[in-house]
Structure 1
Amino acid sequence: MLKQTIAGQLDLMRYLERGAVHLAAGMSIPQEAACEQEADEQWRTGSGVVYTFDFDGWSVNLHFDSDGRFSHDTIDFFGDCDLPGFADIAGPSQVAFAVEGAASFDLGDEQVVLLPSGVTAHFRKGEGDVLVLTKLAGVLLPYIALADYYRSMLQR
C-alpha cells in the first residue's frame, strides 16, 4: 500500500514546496515497520536505516534514525520519469524559475539548486554537457544552514 500510494500520489511540484515525499503525496509520516515490509531494499547506515522503493526511472529513499523515527527522504532519477511535475523541473533553470527564491550553487561536477522549503535539486552533466536532474533531497536542515553549507563548498 505504501509503495502504491507513493507512485500514485507523488507530485514533484508539491514536493518542492512541502519538502518531503509524504507531504507531497498526502500521506502520514512514514513508519519504519511499513517500510520494512514493502521496501525493495534496505541498508543500515551509521545513523539509522534507509528503505528504498524502486519505480520506473526513479526511486525513493526513506531515512530513519537509530530510534526508528523518520528523518528525511531523497528521490533519485535514472532518466526520464512520468511523475507529475518532472518535466517542469528537469533542468536547473526550470527549477529556479518554478520556485521563487531559489539559490543556485555550481560545485563543479554538480549544480545544486536550494529552494526556500529546504529541498535541494541536484544536477550532473549528462550527454552533451546537458545538466540532468539526478536527485531531489527533502528537508534535512533549515534553509539558512544549507545555504551556508553550500557557500562553504564554493570557497574550497
Structure 2
Amino acid sequence: MTRPLVVMGVSGSGKSTVAAALSQRLRVPYADADDLHPEANVAKMSRGEALDDADRWPWLEVVGAWLADHPGGGVMACSALRRTYRDHLRHLCPDVEFVHLEGDPDTIRRRQASRPGHFMPASLLSSQFATLEPLAPDEGGITIDVAQSVDAIVDEYVARSDQSPEDVR
C-alpha cells in the first residue's frame, strides 16, 4: 500500500509529467489539479490574472476530496504553493505526502516556454514564485531539483521515500 502523494511546485516545474510517471511506477491512479479548476479560475489565469485565496479554497476542497478518496495511493499534480494550502490538504487527507519540485526561475521559464497553449501564461511565473512557501522541515515531504530527467526524479523519490520498497520499485 502507498499513501496519497502530491507533486507540488510552481507552474512549469514538471508537476504533471513527474506525477504521471510516479503514478505509473507506483501503480496508482493519477490526477492533475489543473483539470479540477472551475472554469472561472481557468478564465482568470488565461487573462493573466493570478488566483487569490478566494479562488483557491473551493478548488483545494476538490483536490483534497480526490486525495481522500484514494487512501491506498494516488498521485496528484498540484501547485500547493503555500503552507496553509498544504495544511488544508492534510486536514482533508491526513496521510498525504508532498514532493516539492524545486528549480531556479530561469530553468522554469525555459520549461514554460516549451509548452505553448497552456492556460497559465509565463507572465504569472513571478507571482507563483512570490507565493511559493517551500516545504518546511516539519512537513516531512521531499524536495527534488527539477534540473534532471523525469526518470531521475522518479528514481530519487523512490530512493528517498519511506514507503516500502516493494510498493515503489
Q: Normalising to structure 1: TM-score of the pair?
A: 0.28
Which structure has the higher relative contact order (CA within 8 Å, separation 6+)? 2
More strand by share: 1
